[in-house]
């Protein structure tokens, strides 16, 4: 990373360092009693693979991968045996919006329920085919069903599909929230996700430039379905927080945006982002699929306040208005 050599002039250090933290929470979903519904269907295909239909949009957050992992886990089949259909409203059922950090929690639950129902139907069919007296004792593994205590009695998903080509499962999940009353009392969101961030900054008192030297982000994830994807969200959320604290403003003047292109609307680049130490705290949420909570928004929230608190620690100036641009810092420092 490019970093200027520390200048020392007449004994005064022109770059000052400071640390700051931010701690936040975020309530998942539409909230306040609104019907927050996700639907999914699972279907056994002729070749023994499983089709998952769910209208959850992949906007880059990793929804496709997460839905497939949840389906694979529930049915105990390889990732490549799950065929996801999520991009066509005439095929995939409504799974709500890809927002409010709700897809992993809500639609993940719907996919899990759909797969559990399909699994139940598959076991029912396998019971008949294997001619055993109960589903209890049957195990689903890698696309086959077998008797746990007598594994050679076994039938594959493909063989099952060839005998019954109408095995399906439906999953509907409605997140529970309780509408608030006229005093704002109620249980408006569930679950809540917590995050904490620490940063160390360096403020150049000659130019007003703020450099983030290092950072740590601690995230309560319930359970990380895919830790690499969570870490990716942290990187992206952190960058968005840096932009919010230090750079971004559409610049309104009489209703007109003065900064409406990337020529003037400055966002961080990878060079503005330090290496972030990431800590995932796993405390599985009971109502979540395999305990996994939504994290897409929570990763962003503590970043900007941590930076503002670090700037204060560095130069003793409190900024009540963002973004804290170089100009604003210089103006405050020159006030003496």
Residue in 171, 191, 208, 294 binding another protein, rule: CB under 8 A = 191
DSSP classification of residue 104: I
The least CB distance from residue 113 to another protein, in Å, is 16
18 in contact with another protein (CB under 8 A): no
DSSP classification of residue 310: H
327 in contact with another protein (CB under 8 A): no
Residue in 121, 139, 159, 188 binding another protein, rule: CB under 8 A = 188
Give the whole-angstrom CA distance, residue 39 versus residue 22.
Answer: 36
32 in contact with another protein (CB under 8 A): yes
* Residue closer to another protein, measured from CB, 66 or 167: 66
CA angle, residues 74, 76, 79, in degrees to nearest 5: 100
Report phi then psi at 226, rounded to 5: -145, 95
In this structure, are strands 37-44 and 50-54 parallel, antiparallel, or unpaired?
Answer: antiparallel
Residue in 11, 35, 184, 336 binding another protein, rule: CB under 8 A = 184
30 in contact with another protein (CB under 8 A): yes
Q: Which of residues 55-74 bind another protein (CB under 8 A)?
A: 55, 57-60, 62, 64-65, 68-70, 72-73
- The answer to whether 36 and 105 have CB atoms below 8 angstroms apart is no
Residue in 12, 46, 182, 327 binding another protein, rule: CB under 8 A = 182
* Residue closer to another protein, measured from CB, 160 or 304: 304
- The answer to whether 268 and 307 have CB atoms below 8 angstroms apart is no
Give the whole-angstrom CA distance, residue 212 versus residue 201.
Answer: 4
Number of residues that bind another protein (CB under 8 A): 112
Give the whole-angstrom CA distance, residue 162 versus residue 147.
Answer: 20
Token representation of residue 126: 């396998």
174 in contact with another protein (CB under 8 A): no
* Residue closer to another protein, measured from CB, 127 or 296: 296
Tally of CB atoms within 10 A around 99: 15
Residue in 133, 254, 335, 336 binding another protein, rule: CB under 8 A = 254
320 in contact with another protein (CB under 8 A): yes
Residue in 106, 171, 248, 294 binding another protein, rule: CB under 8 A = 248
Q: For residue 6, count CB atoms less than 10 angstroms from its CB and return exposed for 0-12, middle for 13-18, buried for 19 or more.
A: exposed
Element (H, E) at 70: helix 63-75
Residue in 243, 246, 276, 294 binding another protein, rule: CB under 8 A = 243
Query: Annotated active-site positions, please?
Result: 297
The least CB distance from residue 165 to another protein, in Å, is 24
* Residue closer to another protein, measured from CB, 127 or 305: 305
Q: Which of residues 101-120 bind another protein (CB under 8 A)?
A: none
Q: How far is CA 44 from CA 78, 83, 151, in A?
A: 14, 10, 22
223 in contact with another protein (CB under 8 A): yes
């Amino acid at each position: 990373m490019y970093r200027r050599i520390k200048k020392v002039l007449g004994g005064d250090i022109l770059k000052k360092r400071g640390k700051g933290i931010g701690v936040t929470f975020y309530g998942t979903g539409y909230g306040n009693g609104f019907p927050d519904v996700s639907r999914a269907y699972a279907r056994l295909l002729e070749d023994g693979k499983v089709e998952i239909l769910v209208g959850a949009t992949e906007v880059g957050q990793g929804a496709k991968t997460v839905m497939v992992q949840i389906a694979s886990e529930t049915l105990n089949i390889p990732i490549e045996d799950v065929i996801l259909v999520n991009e066509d409203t005439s095929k995939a059922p409504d799974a709500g919006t890809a927002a409010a950090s709700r897809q992993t929690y809500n639609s993940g639950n719907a996919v899990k329920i759909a797969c559990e129902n399909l699994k139940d139907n598959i076991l029912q069919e396998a019971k008949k085919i294997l001619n055993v007296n109960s589903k209890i004792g049957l195990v689903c593994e890698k696309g086959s069903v077998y008797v746990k205590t007598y594994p050679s009695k076994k039938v594959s998903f493909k063989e099952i599909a060839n005998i019954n080509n109408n095995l399906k499962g439906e999953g509907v999940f409605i997140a529970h929230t309780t509408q608030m009353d006229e005093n704002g009392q109620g249980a408006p969101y569930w679950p809540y996700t917590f995050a904490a961030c620490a940063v160390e900054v360096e403020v150049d008192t000659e130019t007003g430039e703020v450099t983030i030297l290092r950072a740590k982000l601690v995230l309560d994830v319930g359970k990380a379905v895919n830790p690499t994807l969570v870490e990716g969200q942290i990187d992206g959320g952190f960058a968005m927080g840096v932009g919010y604290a230090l750079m971004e403003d559409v610049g309104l003047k009489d209703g007109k945006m003065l900064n409406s292109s990337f020529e003037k609307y400055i966002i961080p680049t990878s060079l503005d982002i330090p290496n972030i130490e990431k800590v995932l705290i796993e405390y599985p949420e009971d109502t979540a699929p395999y305990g996994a909570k939504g994290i897409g928004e929570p990763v962003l929230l503590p970043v900007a306040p941590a930076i503002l608190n670090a700037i204060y620690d560095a130069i003793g100036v409190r900024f009540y208005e963002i973004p804290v641009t170089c100009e604003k810092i210089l103006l405050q420092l020159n006030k003496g």
